[in-house]
């Protein structure tokens, strides 16, 4: 039984404890040849085999360092060697790296073939597989080459979380907390209650379904990020800067968690948000064992941020909370306000938050 089945983005998104039967039916229903691309992780391969029986799988060793052009070329070459043509359905199995990379390969192969994603990580289930953003990293930065292209269906197989490394669970949790702050209300309150319980005991299908529904609504209103889809970058401007300035020792999930605190601090500094709500976010982050401070040198983070921004018009703009459940995008901040915020990030929260 699925916890969530929605087609408002024009393709089914299914969240289910066991999504194997749903995905298998969807593949059969298309009555066309298909090829399965999967992340080489043994647990992911086992799942991909369950999905397709004994048929051939194309396996790729993924992870962020392989989310790049050379790997994309390998995937495209493998599709060609496997005889894929315009009628072939490509099924990707794996986490967010798989959905970004395989989704891009399917979008490019013969100018685009149908793509379905079977999500096996929390990031992919709650975030990456939904919304049609595909891409690879370039040496100059993350996700710099990609296209918007919708999949034909997305399946979140919640059982897969059982084998997911804790680090990957935390990365996904940071994105879930992000959308909970964007929307406020039920999801945020559920996370506050659940924070006292061990992760294995969480009602994951409903948590993932809530996160997906929030992302779906934002994406539906602005598919190609001309405006409000930027809300989904809450915590990411600071987060990416911490990741980059730390030489990527800080993972994306940790960066986003730090970024959520920094966005709250900057919001307070520019006269938005309330201290009480900021402390509520900090309490949630800390109960979920997310990092709250970083030793990254403020100037290094600031320079990383500015280099990133050069690609737009050079102004420092942020996604900042006004309240939990009310967030603005495109808010300008002065270099001084940003540097002071970064300085606070070196210490654990004090009276200023």
Ligand X SMILES: NC(=O)c1ccc[n+]([C@@H]2O[C@H](COP(=O)([O-])OP(=O)(O)OC[C@H]3O[C@@H](n4cnc5c(N)ncnc54)[C@H](O)[C@@H]3O)[C@@H](O)[C@H]2O)c1
Instruction: Say whether residue 127 binds ligand X (CB under 6 A).
Output: yes
Q: Mark whether 236 is an active-site residue.
A: yes
- What torsion do the CA atoms of 108, 111, 115, 120 make, to the nearest 10 degrees? 0
Among 3, 15, 36, 44, binds ligand X (CB under 6 A): 44
Alpha helices in the chain (DSSP H): 20-29, 42-52, 69-81, 96-108, 122-123, 166-183, 186-194, 204-221, 236-245, 252-269, 275-287, 298-309, 335-344
CB atoms within 10 A of CB 65: 11
* Number of Cβ within a 10 Å radius of residue 80: 12
Kindly identify the residues of this chain, within the stretch 132-151, that bind ligand X according to CB under 6 A: 133, 143
Note whether 233 binds ligand X by CB under 6 A: no
Toward ligand X, which CB reaches closer, 159 or 303? 159
Using CB under 6 A, which of 107, 124, 234, 345 touches ligand X?
Answer: 124
Catalytic residue among 67, 117, 178, 236: 236
Helix axes 236-245 and 252-269, enclosed angle (nearest 10): 130
- Catalytic (active site) residue 5: no
Contact region with ligand X (CB under 6 A), list: 30-38, 63-71, 179-187, 344-352: 63-71
DSSP-derived pairing of the beta strands 153-157 and 57-60: unpaired
Residue in 157, 170, 178, 240 annotated catalytic: 240
Verify binding: residue 291, ligand X, rule CB under 6 A. Answer: no
Rounded to a whole number of angstroms, the minimum distance from the CB of residue 162 to ligand X is 8
Q: Which of 59, 117, 157, 252 is catalytic?
A: 252
DSSP state of 126: I
Is there a catalytic annotation at residue 215? Answer: yes
E strand or H helix that includes residue 14: strand 13-16
Number of residues that bind ligand X (CB under 6 A): 29
| Contact positions vs ligand X (CB under 6 A) | 39, 41, 43-44, 62-64, 67, 94-98, 100, 120-121, 123-124, 127-128, 131, 133, 143, 160, 163-165, 168, 171
């Amino acid at each position: 039984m699925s916890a969530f089945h929605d087609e408002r983005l024009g393709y089914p998104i299914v969240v289910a404890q066991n999504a194997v039967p749903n995905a298998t039916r969807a593949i059969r229903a298309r009555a066309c040849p298909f090829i399965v691309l999967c992340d080489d992780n043994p647990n992911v391969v086992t799942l991909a085999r369950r999905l397709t029986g004994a048929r051939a799988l194309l396996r790729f060793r993924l992870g962020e360092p392989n989310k790049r052009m050379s790997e994309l070329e390998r995937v495209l070459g493998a599709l060609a060697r496997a005889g894929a043509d315009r009628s072939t359905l490509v099924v990707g199995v794996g986490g967010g790296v798989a959905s970004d990379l395989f989704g891009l390969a399917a979008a490019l192969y013969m100018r685009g073939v149908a793509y379905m994603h079977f999500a096996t990580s929390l990031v992919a289930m709650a975030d990456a597989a939904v919304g049609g953003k595909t891409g690879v990293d370039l040496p100059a930065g993350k996700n710099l080459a990609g296209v918007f292209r919708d999949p034909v269906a997305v399946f979140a197989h919640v059982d897969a979380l059982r084998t997911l490394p804790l680090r990957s669970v935390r990365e996904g949790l940071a994105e879930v907390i992000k959308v909970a702050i964007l929307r406020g209300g039920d999801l945020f309150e559920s996370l506050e209650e659940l924070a006292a319980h061990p992760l294995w005991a969480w009602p994951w299908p409903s948590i993932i379904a809530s996160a997906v529904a929030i992302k779906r609504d934002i994406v539906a209103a602005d598919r190609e990020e001309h405006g409000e889809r930027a809300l989904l970058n809450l915590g990411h401007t600071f987060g990416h800067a911490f990741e980059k300035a730390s030489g990527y020792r800080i993972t994306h999930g940790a960066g986003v968690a730090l970024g959520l605190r920094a966005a709250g601090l900057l919001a307070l500094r520019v006269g938005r948000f309330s201290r009480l709500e900021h402390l509520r976010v900090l309490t949630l982050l800390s109960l979920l064992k997310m990092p709250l401070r970083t030793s990254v040198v403020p100037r290094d983070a600031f320079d990383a941020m500015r280099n990133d921004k050069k690609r737009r018009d050079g102004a420092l703009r942020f996604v900042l909370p006004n309240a939990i459940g009310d967030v603005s995008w495109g808010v300008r901040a002065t270099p001084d306000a940003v540097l002071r915020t970064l300085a606070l990030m070196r210490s654990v929260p004090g009276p200023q938050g």
